[in-house]
């Protein structure tokens, strides 16, 4: 089926995944989740960042001349806690427990022996990338530590369902995971936090890249070369209508948003803040084309 693109041009067919018809994904699914990072600790203790606290810390940061990175850390902590205290479930008998962590669900789509052998090293290195990225920010150590200890990556492995999975199948499984956790809003749109709107995908090439990372000796030295290393990001709220409405042609160039982008491995914090602050289901759509640093 075709639609009309910008300028009245006929929109090309949007590629789908026929296996979703022959082997559909249920609306709700449970997965075994393996968490990496300090945010997975059962005894995690966090400092609440209320709006008043955030305002006070922004003023203090400005007064001593800290950079925008410090303000971004304050804003991210405030956004995490603001959305964590929203009770979306009006029909439940007890409110959902506070969760002050941040991070992403990561779906694995390759299951050969070499990939599985390197997987733990890859995930550990990725957590280290994020922690070192935070360490390179200006600002008080306790603020960097607060974000570090709240961070986690939650790995989803299911060879039968995800081996060689298309982007469409990964998206449907991500939405099914959210459904199983009662984290979808009416109409099955995701909650505003980035963790529920965007998932990350790793295959054999990505695992190999992450497992082989080399790090500077000084953790305070920001490694800009990592921005050139990217991981696939998938928009949970993408629909074919987004694709049709985004299509354009100009000078022989064509483009269409298919709900997929490439995110730098050391820009997870920036992406989380951009998507969560936007607080709308089209937040990743607005970043298209995402190819590295969000918003660049």
Ordered by start, the domain boundaries in the chain are 28-39+47-86+98-226
Indicate the pLDDT class of residue 188, thresholds 50, 70 and 90. low
Other Cβ atoms within 10 Å of 281 Cβ, number: 20
pLDDT, mean of residues 17-25: 95
pLDDT, greater one: 194 or 225:
194
**pLDDT one-digit tens code per residue, 209-233:** 999 998 876 766 667 778 799 999 9
Indicate the pLDDT class of residue 104, thresholds 50, 70 and 90. very high
Dihedral (C-alpha) 183, 186, 189, 194: value to the nearest 10 degrees?
-40
Tell whether the model's pLDDT for residue 264 goes beyond 50: yes
Tokens coding 265: 């491995």
Query: Alpha-carbon distance 188 to 263, whole Å?
Result: 25
The reported pLDDT for the residue numbered 2 is 34
- pLDDT over 90 for what percent of the chain? 47
Please name which of 282, 289, 286 lies closest in space to residue 256, comparing C-alpha atoms: 289
SS (H, E, C) the chain: CCCECHHHCECCCCCCCCHHHHCCCCCCCCCCEEEECHHHCCCCCCCCCCHHHHHHHHHHHHHCCCCHHHHHHHHHHHHHHHHHCCCCCCCCCCCCCCCCCEEEEEEECCCCHHHHHHHHHHHHHHHHHHHHHHHCCCCCHHHHHHHHHHEEEEEECCHHHHCCCCHHHHHHHHHHHHHHCCCECCCCCECCCHHHHEEEEECHHHHHHHHCCCCCCCCCCCCHHHHHCEEEEEECCCCHHHHHHHCEEECCEEECCCCEEEEECCCHHHHHHHHHHHCCCCCCHHHCCCEECCCC
- When the pLDDT of each residue in the chain is averaged and rounded to a whole number, the result is 84
pLDDT, mean of residues 112-140: 93
Please name which of 108, 227, 141, 237 lies closest in space to residue 185, comparing C-alpha atoms: 237
The reported pLDDT for the residue numbered 155 is 99
pTM as predicted: 0.88
Contact 238, 246 (CB under 8 A): no
The reported pLDDT for the residue numbered 177 is 94
Place of tokens 């694709």: 243
Indicate the pLDDT class of residue 1, thresholds 50, 70 and 90. very low
pLDDT, greater one: 162 or 67:
162
Tell whether the model's pLDDT for residue 108 goes beyond 90: yes
Indicate the pLDDT class of residue 41, thresholds 50, 70 and 90. confident
Least confident span in 31-40, 79-88, 261-270: 79-88
Tokens coding 131: 């922690």
Place of tokens 């459904």: 179
Q: Is 134 exposed, middle or buried (0-12, 13-18, 19+ CB in 10 A)?
A: buried
| CA 6 remoteness from chain centre | 29
pLDDT, mean of residues 274-282: 80
| CA 275 remoteness from chain centre | 9
Query: Alpha-carbon distance 235 to 237, whole Å?
Result: 6
- For residue 156, list its beta bridge partners: 33, 107
């Amino acid at each position: 089926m075709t639609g009309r693109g910008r300028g009245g041009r006929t929109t090309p067919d949007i590629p789908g995944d026929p296996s979703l018809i022959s082997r559909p994904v249920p609306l709700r699914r449970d997965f075994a989740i393996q968490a990496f990072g300090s945010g997975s600790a059962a005894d995690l203790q966090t400092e609440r960042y209320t709006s008043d606290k955030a305002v006070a810390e922004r003023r203090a940061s400005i007064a001593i001349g800290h950079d925008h990175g410090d303000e971004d850390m304050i804003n991210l902590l405030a956004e995490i806690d603001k959305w964590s205290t929203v009770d979306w479930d009006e029909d439940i008998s007890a409110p959902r427990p506070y969760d002050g962590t941040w991070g992403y669900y990561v779906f694995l789509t390759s299951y050969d022996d070499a990939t599985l052998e390197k997987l733990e090293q890859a995930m550990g290195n990725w957590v280290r990338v994020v922690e070192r990225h935070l360490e390179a920010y200006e600002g008080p150590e306790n603020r960097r530590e607060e974000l570090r200890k709240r961070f986690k990556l939650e790995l989803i492995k299911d060879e039968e369902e995800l081996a060689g999975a298309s982007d469409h199948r990964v998206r449907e499984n991500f939405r099914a995971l959210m459904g199983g956790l009662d984290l979808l809003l009416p109409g099955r749109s995701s909650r505003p936090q980035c963790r529920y709107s965007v998932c990350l995908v790793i295959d054999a090439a990505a695992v190999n890249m992450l497992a082989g990372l080399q790090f500077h000796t000084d953790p305070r030295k920001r490694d800009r070369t990592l921005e050139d290393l990217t991981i696939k990001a998938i928009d949970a709220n993408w629909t074919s209508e987004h694709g049709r409405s985004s299509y354009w042609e100009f000078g022989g160039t064509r483009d269409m948003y298919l709900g997929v982008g490439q995110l730098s491995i050391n820009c997870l914090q920036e992406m989380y803040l951009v998507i969560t602050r936007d607080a709308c289901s089209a937040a990743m759509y607005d970043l298209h084309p995402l190819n590295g640093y969000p918003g660049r």
